[in-house]
Amino acid sequence: MMTKQALTRMLRRALVAVWLMPCLAAAQSVQENTLKAAFVYNFALFTEWPKKTSNAADSLTICFHADSDMRDVLGALDGKPVRNMVLKTRVLGALEQEVVNCNVLFIDRRDRHHWHAIRKKLAGTGVLTVTDDEDIGRGGAMIALSLSGSKMVFDIDQSAARQAGLVLSSKLLRLARTVR
C-alpha cells in the first residue's frame, strides 16, 4: 500500500509532467523548424539558377509568407553567404502576387489553398519551391521536407525543377529520399 507522502510525490511528478508536455512540444517544434531552415539553406547552396534571375547578381532571396511558422528561423538566414552571394530574406503578404521576385519560396500549410495559383504564376520563373506540407509536396513543389520517425527527409520533383530552369546538384539528388 502506498503512503500518503509517496502518493503526494507521485501526483506532483504527474502534474509537473503534464505542465511540461506543452513546453517540450513547443521546444521540439522550434528545433524542427531550425532544422528545416538549415535544409532550406543547403538547398540554396546546391541549386544553380538560370543566368537571368529576378534579383541582383550578388544575392539570392528566400521568400515566405508573413504568417509562416518558419518566419523567425528563415529570417535568421538573412546575410548568410551562398557561394559568392548573400542570402536575403523577404516576408510576403500575398504569395500569389509577389513570388516572381524570389529565388527560393518556402510554402507551408497556410499557403495550401493558394498553391494552384502560386504554381501557375511561377511557371518558368526559376524559383525553387520548398514545402513542409504533404499536399503541396505531392502537388508539384520541387522539394518537400518531412519527418520520418525522428529524421528529417526530403523528396525532389526534378521534373518541376528542370521546367523552372533550375539545376539541382547531384549531391542533393543522392541525399533525397525519392527523386521523380
In this prediction, residue 139 carries a pLDDT of: 94
Structure confidence by residue, pLDDT tens digits, 18-48: 333 333 334 456 699 999 999 999 999 999 9
Structural domains of the chain ordered from first start: 32-179 (3.40.50)
Instruction: Please report the pLDDT score of residue 43 as a whole number.
Output: 98
DSSP 34: H
Comparison of pLDDT for 169 and 123, the residue scoring more = 169
CB atoms within 10 A of CB 171: 10
> What are the pLDDT digits (tens) for 44-85?
999 999 876 545 578 999 999 999 999 999 999 999 999 899
**What is the model's pTM?**
0.82
